[in-house]
Amino acid sequence: MTDRPEFIPSCPIPLSDYPHVLLAHGGGGKLMHQLIERMIVPAFANPALNARHDSAVLDVSGVRLAFTTDGYVVQPLFFPGGDIGTLAVNGTVNDLAMSGARPLYLSASCILEEGLPLDTFWRVLQSMRQAADAAGVAIVTGDTKVVDRGKGDGIFVTTAGVGIIEHPLTIAPGSVRAGDAVLLSGDIGRHGMAIMTVREGLAFESTIESDCAPLAGLVAALLRAGLQLHCLRDLTRGGLASALIEIAEVARLGIHLREAAIPVREDVQGACELLGFDPLYVANEGRFVCFLPAGEAERALDILHESPLAKDACLIGDVREKDAGLVTMQSRIGAGRIVDMLSGEQLPRIC
Amino acid sequence: MTDRPEFIPSCPIPLSDYPHVLLAHGGGGKLMHQLIERMIVPAFANPALNARHDSAVLDVSGVRLAFTTDGYVVQPLFFPGGDIGTLAVNGTVNDLAMSGARPLYLSASCILEEGLPLDTFWRVLQSMRQAADAAGVAIVTGDTKVVDRGKGDGIFVTTAGVGIIEHPLTIAPGSVRAGDAVLLSGDIGRHGMAIMTVREGLAFESTIESDCAPLAGLVAALLRAGLQLHCLRDLTRGGLASALIEIAEVARLGIHLREAAIPVREDVQGACELLGFDPLYVANEGRFVCFLPAGEAERALDILHESPLAKDACLIGDVREKDAGLVTMQSRIGAGRIVDMLSGEQLPRIC
């Protein structure tokens, strides 16, 4: 370690609270939010990053591009419904789609742990190729590094993606308006519970499979119909609740949900109860929310229902001036409550 | 682990040889070459990847983009002349520049190990910001994941980059021609030896500092002068030798070097001899080779010499039809030899 040069400002998170990285800093809850808002965004501050969306939207010679990245550290590497390779491709494809972009090209950077069976790496590469083909993108550039045994965990994959935005809309949290309908593309909690039941060695009557899937086709269908999409967001780390809280904060509007309208499969609900999770906070890899004018909600649902990936799409709430910056929910028995961001780590290494 | 589905072709590297990942698979030598050529390229095969260059060159709505990624796992995180943050930014900036692109935007994905001091992460973020500012690029999107203690190594950073190509040249190994001059932008071996002397706890009269630097400005100056650049390549993992061997193989031409023309600083040469390294194979992070018509070599050198980053740029060899696919070198005492790719791991986790 060299001495710290004079010109580096000191770390903006008070080091007396949590001087070290905790698993919860990656969990999609309050600590991760704090890490992003108080360290990462201030460090890199620029307009694209400040938009706080899944992809940066950039103008390059008059072409509107979306650009995004995600690292994948899921354990186990293979799980019901997918593996780290399918996740790494679909996750980045979906982040591009959530900006209303048509995903075009992906990069893939792999960090391998010494001792990983080459055959495992090969299976992951094959999964990535198949997922890329299914999503209509090409993996055009990559990198591989190897770290010593015990300094990694099998394989970590980081993908980045480039897409093109071919419409004039600004699909982002800042475009959400009071009166918007909030649509959800299907049942929630499957990805997280697929991972957790494998990890915990739980057996149910049927295996819970991850919902991991590319969402760009659904978004393209909504755009082709000329719908005025205000915001899209996939429901990964932190689940439905965290995604909506982030959008409510950026939009400075209230998002009101009806709990009874949010579909959760019975086996997922059972697994959540057994393991002490709330499905609202459990990660998905093939679900998204869509904000658009209430008058267009029905048409959007009709379009979504045409795809097997969104056959259970539904209206789960609306946007109001009231309770700005908050997500509120009317429970099944009629009581109202504020949906808060989780402070801890709900599900480590879920993606 | 789920059963292997029927449709996955079997791993194309004979598993009886090396059934597991070795450190050498990341070292820039023969095993890494084999991993790329026999597993990764076949898995993702597409024209951009097949070009085997530092960046993929893509046409998006008539705009020529360069797109690249690299993962960084260097140890120690901080070393004389830089740290993992400066490396991660300059490395990707340089990969874009080597395609003749003007680097524009970077993504940054960090994999943190539980227990990393937050202050260390903050210093790395600050380094990335400073390196980005110096190179004239913006870090516009990112991601952070956390892995359990003992499943990572402090911090891994993966950057991806997007740049724009604003000239009609195809700067790539396939454009190299017999008769081309081979220019080198300065002395070699500093980055690798800066890392190794720290790791080995060696003290020399003066500290060897990494040459880590952004090269896009040098490339822009060469392009502005209207020079017919055929190929550019930065000399990272595997050093000068590996870079030239790859180019000779793709171009199917012979590259002939004069050893006496290749500058190596005395302290670097000394450290190499002490530790048993050949500077030809040692990683650099601020050096590149340039192939262009011999008649333009002098003008290119004049331009390079104007920058402190390339004040020692020199002509080190030429391209011939003879010895196609090989790199040959005339030694200081006049003997000729073939420069071969190293089979093992020379310097693990150098970048």
How many C-beta atoms lie closer than 10 Å to residue B154's C-beta?
21
- Pick the residue from chain A with its C-alpha nearest to B81: A2
- Residue in chain B nearest A62 by alpha carbon: B63
Q: Which residues of B touch A107 (CB under 8 A)?
A: 56, 67-69, 160
| CB atoms B141 and A48 under 8 Å | yes
**Cα–Cα distance measured from residue A252 to residue A268, given in angstroms and rounded to the nearest whole number:** 32
Smallest Cβ distance to A158: which of B71, B77, B118? Answer: B71
Examine the pLDDT at A298 and tell me if it is beyond 50.
yes
Q: Which segment of A14-18, A318-322, B205-209 scores lowest on mean pLDDT?
A: A14-18
Nearest chain B residue (CA) to A22:
B114
Inter-chain contact A1–B76, Cβ cutoff 8 Å? yes
Kindly report the average pLDDT of chain B as a whole number: 92
* For A237, nearest residue in chain B (alpha carbons): B145
- What is the per-residue pLDDT for B348? 81
Nearest by CB to A118, which of B11, B68, B121? B11
8 Å CB contact of B20 and A114: yes
| Overall average pLDDT of the A80-87 stretch | 97
Q: What are phi and psi of B73, to 5 degrees?
A: -130, 25
Search chain A and give the residue with CA nearest B20. A117
Tell me the count of A-B CB pairs closer than 8 A. Answer: 321
- Residue A201's pLDDT is what? 84
Let me know: does A245 contact A185? Beta carbons within 8 Å. no
Mean pLDDT over B133-158 rounds to: 96
Q: Is the pLDDT of residue B3 over 50?
A: no
Rounded to an integer, what distance in angstroms lies between the CA atom of residue A183 and that of residue B344? 55
Residue A4 has pLDDT above 60, yes or no: no
Distance (Å) from the C-alpha of residue A269 to the closest C-alpha of chain B?
A: 24
Per residue in B193-240, pLDDT (tens digit) is 999 999 888 777 778 999 999 999 999 999 999 999 999 999 999 999
pLDDT digits (tens, 9 = 90+) for B333-347: 889 999 998 876 667
Asked if pLDDT for residue A5 goes beyond 60, the answer is: no
Residues of A in Cβ contact (< 8 Å) with B125 = 39-40, 43-44
* Cβ contacts of B344 on chain A, cutoff 8 Å: none
Of A30-34, A217-221, B84-88, give the lowest mean pLDDT range: A30-34
In angstroms, the CA A113 to CA A145 distance is 9
Share of chain A above pLDDT 90, in %: 77
**B160 contacts A119? CB cut-off 8 A:** no
pLDDT for residue A133: 97
Query: Does the distance separating the beta carbons of A71 and B141 come in below 8 Å?
Result: no
Q: How confident is the model at residue B5 (pLDDT cuts 50, 70, 90)?
A: very low
Question: Is the pTM here over 0.90, yes or no?
Answer: yes
Chain B residues lying within 8 Å of A150, measured CB to CB: 150
pLDDT at B163 over 80: yes
Nearest CA in chain A to B209: A2
Confidence of residue A68 (pLDDT cuts 50, 70, 90): very high
The 3 state secondary structure assigned to B29-47 is: CHHHHHHHHHHHHHHHCCH
Please spell the DSSP secondary structure of B248-259, one letter per residue: HHHHTSEEEEEG
Per-residue DSSP letter, A154:
S
Task: Write the single-letter amino acid at A337.
Answer: R
* Structure-block tokens of residue B17: 């040889």
Is the CB of A78 less than 8 angstroms away from the CB of B123? no
Backbone angles phi, psi at A157, to 5 degrees: -125, 130
pLDDT at B283 over 90: yes
Distance CA A215, CA A91 (A): 9
Say whether B21 and A118 touch across the interface (CB within 8 A).
Answer: yes
CA distance A112 to chain B (A): 7
Whether residue B143 and residue A70 make contact (CB cut-off 8 A), yes or no, is: yes
- Is residue A15 scored above 70 in pLDDT? no
Split at pLDDT 50, 70, 90, the class of A206 is confident
Indicate the residue of A71, A110, A115 with minimum beta-carbon distance to B20: A115
Q: How confident is the model at residue B6 (pLDDT cuts 50, 70, 90)?
A: very low
| A7 Cβ neighbours under 8 A, 6+ residues apart | none
Report residue A145 CA to chain centroid gap.
Answer: 26
pLDDT the model gives residue A254: 98
pLDDT of amino acid B15: 60
pLDDT of residue A27: 82
Chain B environment of A350 (Cβ under 8 Å): none
Q: Decide if pLDDT at A270 tops 70.
A: yes
Query: When comparing pLDDT for A200 and A191, which is higher?
Result: A191
Using DSSP, state whether B141 is helix, strand or coil.
strand
Q: What is the mean pLDDT of residues B245-250?
A: 96
B/e letters for B219-238, b = 16+ CB within 10 Å, e = fewer, are bbbbbeeebbbbbbbbbbbb
Q: Give residue A3's pLDDT.
A: 43
- Whether cis (ω within 30° of 0) applies to the bond prior to B5 is no
A251 pLDDT above the threshold of 80 = yes
The arithmetic mean of pLDDT across residues B66-82, rounded, is: 96
The reply to whether residue A21 touches residue B115, judged by beta carbons under 8 angstroms, is yes
C-alpha B144, offset from chain centre: 25
Do B146 and A61 count as a contact with CB atoms less than 8 A apart? no
Looking at residues B266-279, what average pLDDT do you find?
Answer: 93
pLDDT score for A54: 81
pLDDT at position A39 is 86
Backbone φ and ψ for A242, nearest 5 degrees, come out as -65, -40
Instruction: Flag if B349 and A122 touch (Cβ within 8 Å).
Output: no
Contact assessment for residue B301 and residue B314, using Cβ atoms and an 8 Å cutoff: yes
Cα B139 off chain centre by: 20
User: Is cis: bond before A168, omega within 30 of 0?
Assistant: no
The C-alpha angle with vertex A54 and arms to A49 and A60, in degrees rounded to 5, equals 60
Residue indicated by tokens 């073939």 = B338
* pLDDT tens figures, B36-50: 888 888 888 888 887
Mean pLDDT within A185-197: 96
**C-alpha–C-alpha distance, residues A165 and A175, integer Å:** 16
Once rounded to an integer, what is the mean pLDDT over residues A238-248? 96
